[in-house]
Amino acid sequence: MKITGISTVVVNAIHRNWIFVKVQTDQPGLHGWGEATLEWKTRAVTGAVEDLAQFVVGEDPRRIEHLFAKMTKFSFWPLGAIGLSAVSAIDQALWDIKAKDLGVPVWQLLGGRVRDHVRVYTHLRRARIGAQVGTGDISAFCDAVQETVEMGYNAVKLGFVPYCAYEAPLRDVLHVEKLAQAVRERVGPDVAIMTDFHGRPANADTAKAFIDVIAPIRPLFIEEPIQPGNAAAMAALARRVDCPLATGERLFTPREFAELAELGAVAHIQPDLSHCGGLTGGRRIAAIAEAGQMGIAPHNPMGPVAGSVALHFDVATPNFVIQEEAVGLVPWFDEIFSHPMRLVDGAWEVPEAPGYGIEIDEKAAACHPFEPEVIPALEAVLPDGTIAHW
């Protein structure tokens, strides 16, 4: 079997363009899908996919480790977010091909099923574009949280913390305290709550001020309380607060996750399988996390291929905790895809179809072509005009 070509399919999803990568083979009807979605970097990533194709076209797609090595080692320069997103999607597609060739779901190739369902969490109102509610009106925010839970979820991730930098204004801290307590009172103890700081605090003291008032509601974790990349600072913060921390969506290599494990910096890591080397990279990172006694909660606010890949990874990963999903992001999420993500009692069912069990209607996908994204990060400006972390 040989790889005959690699192509991309771009589908606009308002705040991002989904980048789907199709790896074709010389076997009639046998191809694989991956996803390389990277917000506001669409043209760079599709170009990187084209550049990497020369390393794999003509090769046997079943030699996954071999091809992963070719793409990462022959590139010479560190690939970074753009290059590794391209590698990740190609890698994902290779696993899809191999599993289809063998007639088994991808999770069988990853060591087999270790759980009977995959717990998931969503965002406020399933992150539906145009349906979000600000944190200023606590009652309206709690109504939206309750509405989200009633959609069938027992876990939700929310944004409590405003744009900030090197200080946590007392007015903001007190508002976050009231908001967090109101949400917990509304949903009760049986709904897991997570909150994403998005790395907005510019130092540990600012982060700690907000964490301390959220900790009493016992969140499952607080995500990116400070900017990623400084494992020592994260570890020092973890020792100062009474709340599990998580990070990892903007980390890419096993070495970066190994630093977190070595320092005991977080309770949970959140690699994104569309950025960290696909399933090949993700498996290495999961093993590091398990050795470091860290749970794994993969990042995924993207399209259906990324979600399907994460589902198979979660089924076979022993230290998996919970999966982020974005199935309700845009109205056309289900229009152009057949996919295995089926929500039952707050969890996805284990898929049984060969490969990832996903297919894309490319003619229907063409109805939502590339467009420049609406970029919410442009809002991240402090009152004095300083640019803040989104």
Reported as a single tens digit per residue, the pLDDT across 165-212 is: 999 999 999 999 999 999 999 999 999 999 999 999 999 999 999 999
Reported as a single tens digit per residue, the pLDDT across 250-295 is: 999 999 999 999 999 999 999 999 999 999 999 999 999 999 999 9
- The pLDDT value recorded for residue 183 is 98
- The pLDDT value recorded for residue 38 is 97
pTM over 0.85: yes
Verify that 41 and 125 share a domain, yes or no.
no
Reported as a single tens digit per residue, the pLDDT across 126-163 is: 988 888 899 999 999 999 999 999 999 999 999 999 99
CATH classification at residue 344 = 3.20.20.120
Verify that 216 and 293 share a domain, yes or no.
yes
Verify that 270 and 201 share a domain, yes or no.
yes
Domain assignment present for 365? no
Domain assignment present for 371? no
Reading the block at residue 155, the tokens are 């876990």
Verify that 190 and 332 share a domain, yes or no.
yes
Identify the band that residue 335 occupies on the pLDDT scale cut at 50, 70 and 90.
confident
Domain assignment present for 27? yes
In the set 123, 198, 312, 339, the catalytic residue is: 198
Q: How far apart are CA 271 and CA 132, in angstroms?
A: 25
Which of 75, 104, 133 finishes a domain? Answer: 104
What is the count of structural domains for the chain?
2
In the set 31, 268, 275, 299, the catalytic residue is: 299
Tokens 């959609």: give the residue: 151
Verify that 207 and 59 share a domain, yes or no.
no
Tokens 């007639």: give the residue: 103
Q: How far apart are CA 131 and CA 16, in angstroms?
A: 16
If you ran DSSP here, which 8-state letter would residue 267 be given? S
Task: Please give the helix or strand (H or E) that residue 181 lies within, else none.
Answer: helix 170-187
Task: Find, among 199, 195, 217, 215, the residue nearest to 207 by Cα.
Answer: 199
Do the beta carbons of residue 84 and residue 68 sit within 8 Å?
no
Give me the percent of the chain exceeding a pLDDT of 90. 93
CATH classification at residue 39 = 3.30.390.10
Verify that 133 and 218 share a domain, yes or no.
yes
Domain assignment present for 375? no
Domain assignment present for 79? yes
The most distant pair of C-alpha atoms in the chain lies apart, rounded to whole Å, by 64
Question: Which of 20-24, 278-282, 320-324, 370-374 shows the lowest per-residue confidence on average (mean pLDDT)?
Answer: 370-374
Verify that 116 and 45 share a domain, yes or no.
no
Verify that 131 and 205 share a domain, yes or no.
yes
Question: Does the annotation mark 198 as catalytic?
Answer: yes
Full residue range of the structural domain in which residue 39 is found: 3-104
Domain assignment present for 76? yes
Verify that 28 and 171 share a domain, yes or no.
no
Reading the block at residue 245, the tokens are 């921390």
Q: How many angstroms separate the Cα of 73 from the Cα of each of 4, 83, 308, 376? A: 22, 12, 27, 35
Residue type, 167: E
- Strands of the chain (E only): list them: 3-12, 17-25, 31-35, 117-123, 155-158, 192-196, 221-223, 245-247, 268-269, 295-296, 323-324, 337-338, 343-344, 347-349, 359-360
Task: Find, among 28, 46, 29, the residue nearest to 37 by Cα.
Answer: 46
Q: How far apart are CA 348 and CA 196, in angstroms?
A: 22
Domain assignment present for 220? yes
Domain assignment present for 188? yes
- The pLDDT value recorded for residue 107 is 98
Verify that 301 and 267 share a domain, yes or no.
yes
Which of 54, 77, 104 finishes a domain? Answer: 104
Verify that 163 and 255 share a domain, yes or no.
yes
Question: Does the annotation mark 299 as catalytic?
Answer: yes
Terminal-to-terminal C-alpha distance of the chain:
45
CA 296 to chain centre: 11
Verify that 10 and 95 share a domain, yes or no.
yes
